[in-house]
Amino acid sequence: MVSNKMVEQKGNILMKRYEIGKLLGQGSFAKVYHGRNVKNSQSVAIKVIDKEKILKSELMDQIRREISVMNLVRHPCIVQLYEVMATKSKIYFVLEYVKGGELFNKIRRGRLKEEVARKYFQQLISAIDFCHSRGVYHRDLKPENLLLDENRNLKISDFGLSAFAECKRQDGLLHTTCGTPAYVAPEVINRKGYDGAKADVWACGVILYVLLAGYLPFQDKNVMNMYKKICRAELKWPSWFPSDVRKLLRRILDPNPTTRISVSEIMENPWFRVGLDSDLLNKTIPTEDVIPVHMDSTSDHFTKNTNEEKQAAENLTSLNAFDIISLSSGFDLSGMFEDDNSKEEPKFTSTNTVVTITKKLEDVAKSLQLKFLKKSGGLLKMEGSKPGRKGVMSINAEIFQITPNFHLVEFTKTNGDTLEYQKVKQEMRPALKDIVWAWQGELPQPLNEQL
């Protein structure tokens, strides 16, 4: 039996296979440790995922998909998944150890030289071309998800939001709104369906701009204003950008996906081919057909979402994630809501499931001696027990689905005295802290990279 606490301590052996070392990073659902293969002393990264948190956030299907995807995309410019292990409460990804850190950290020190930026862009496009040839779309390309090895070669990581070609609907397009706002393509924001390959190309264009400029091409404190700039492809060119780079970026950052340049066309571009390693576009990594999955004697299988959760989610109104919140690390969220929050109805976001949110709201309502009623479409109703100056106070709480594991809850007073309503809001706020990720107008605890 593997102790649940063992991964918190240095020097422990995981399933007689890996020695656990120092903590490398931490996200909302996982911790990443340095590890050593006890048989051959190979350094690895071990991502330790809390299964309970994953189940509560309805992310188990995402974990399964990530394993399947990483089994397909075996390429020198992609972080490799060696094997998967599981206990009753933890899932362990044993990954290639990439010790050079994030490309994002390199950019923080300033823009890159043209030849360096081109090298990384060539490696990025090579890996993305390989992914697309396997029917895989990354959907969250950004410098934070690009790592550098000891030889300063690029490695794509974090396929948690990736999709298969089989995920397309009958119209041949993907429809799940996801990614990091500053890097998403206009068609993803517009929610009319999108080609995963073309969306990845757009993100690659934003990355190339960032590598050469040292800052994002589309910026604004207000998210909606930023999306307008993205949809119009409002670009300003730094004076040091060569004309051939500008021409290429205009074709990549084309707001019309039907006329946007393809990966194969990028690889034929004269600027792209300068100094290109001819073997780069043909490299793959030999591998077994299936990544091994090891479980100890206490392990259960990867439990699927309950029918209760699925049914609750199906009844919700779906919102565009990018109208509500940015998931990018360090992004200023203060401009998302109106400046005068006192005139706004309270809203908060939550990473909990619909059932968990509903149960918490019901418990809070009862503690405040309010009647609690469930309506259709994620609408909940709370009413006072007796009439006030302006009748019985009535509050609607509506749950909107942003993504399967991210929700917005909005309160609205529908009847009763305003002062009574303000008092209830004040009492309700601290009582809901267990399920709140961020209230409107407030910076949340950073998600960082959800490792």
Q: What are phi and psi of 340, to 5 degrees?
A: -95, 90
Q: What is the DSSP letter of 351?
A: S
Helix (H) or strand (E) holding 298: none
The residue type of 83 is E
Domain with CATH 3.30.200.20 in the chain: 6-97
pLDDT computed for residue 42 by the predictor: 95
Q: Has residue 64 got a pLDDT over 70?
A: yes
Q: How confident is the model at residue 140 (pLDDT cuts 50, 70, 90)?
A: very high
Two structure tokens written together for 156: 């794509």
Q: Is there a contact between 395 and 424 (Cβ–Cβ < 8 Å)?
A: yes
Q: Report the pLDDT averaged over residues 149-172.
A: 85
Q: Has residue 9 got a pLDDT over 50?
A: no
CATH architecture of 103-282: Orthogonal Bundle (1.10)
* Of the candidate ranges 152-161, 165-174, 295-304, 384-393, the one whose mean pLDDT is the lowest: 295-304
Domain with CATH 3.30.310.80 in the chain: 307-439
Q: d(Cα 47, Cα 9) in Å, to the nearest integer?
A: 14
Q: How big, in percent rounded to 5, are the helix, strand and coil portions of the chain?
A: 35, 20, 45
Q: Report the pLDDT averaged over residues 157-180.
A: 81
Q: Has residue 103 got a pLDDT over 80?
A: yes
Query: At 64, is the secondary structure helix, strand, or coil?
Result: helix
The per-residue pLDDT for range 174-222, each reduced to its tens digit, is: 887 778 889 999 999 887 899 999 999 999 999 999 999 999 999 888 8
Q: d(Cα 160, Cα 64) in Å, to the nearest integer?
A: 9
How many other β-carbons are positioned within 10 Å of the β-carbon of residue 242?
11
pLDDT computed for residue 408 by the predictor: 83
Domain with CATH 1.10.510.10 in the chain: 103-282
Q: How confident is the model at residue 410 (pLDDT cuts 50, 70, 90)?
A: confident
Over the chain, what is the mean pLDDT?
Answer: 81
* Helix runs in 327-403, H state only: 354-367
The per-residue pLDDT for range 323-354, each reduced to its tens digit, is: 433 333 333 333 333 333 444 578 888 878 88
Q: How confident is the model at residue 16 (pLDDT cuts 50, 70, 90)?
A: confident
Q: How confident is the model at residue 122 (pLDDT cuts 50, 70, 90)?
A: very high
Q: Which residues are catalytic?
A: 140
Q: Has residue 285 got a pLDDT over 90?
A: no
CA angle 129, 132, 138 (to 5 degrees): 100
Q: Has residue 24 got a pLDDT over 60?
A: yes
* Of the candidate ranges 5-19, 132-146, 375-389, 417-431, the one whose mean pLDDT is the lowest: 5-19
* CATH superfamily of domain region 307-439: Kinase associated domain 1, KA1 (3.30.310.80)
Is 16 annotated to bind a ligand? Reply is no
The per-residue pLDDT for range 412-442, each reduced to its tens digit, is: 888 888 888 888 988 998 999 888 877 875 5
N-term to C-term CA, the chain: 25
Q: Has residue 165 got a pLDDT over 80?
A: no
Q: How confident is the model at residue 8 (pLDDT cuts 50, 70, 90)?
A: very low
Q: Which fold has domain 6-97?
A: Phosphorylase Kinase; domain 1 (3.30.200)
What pTM was computed for the model? 0.66
Q: Report the pLDDT averaged over residues 17-34.
A: 89
Which has more pLDDT, 92 or 377? Answer: 92
Closest C-alpha among 181, 264, 250 to residue 218: 181
Q: Has residue 82 got a pLDDT over 70?
A: yes
Q: d(Cα 356, Cα 303) in Å, to the nearest integer?
A: 17
Q: Report the pLDDT averaged over residues 110-128.
A: 96
Q: How confident is the model at residue 25 (pLDDT cuts 50, 70, 90)?
A: confident
Q: Which of 88-97, 220-229, 347-356 has the highest mean pLDDT?
A: 88-97
Q: How confident is the model at residue 1 (pLDDT cuts 50, 70, 90)?
A: very low
Q: Report the pLDDT averaged over residues 354-370.
A: 90
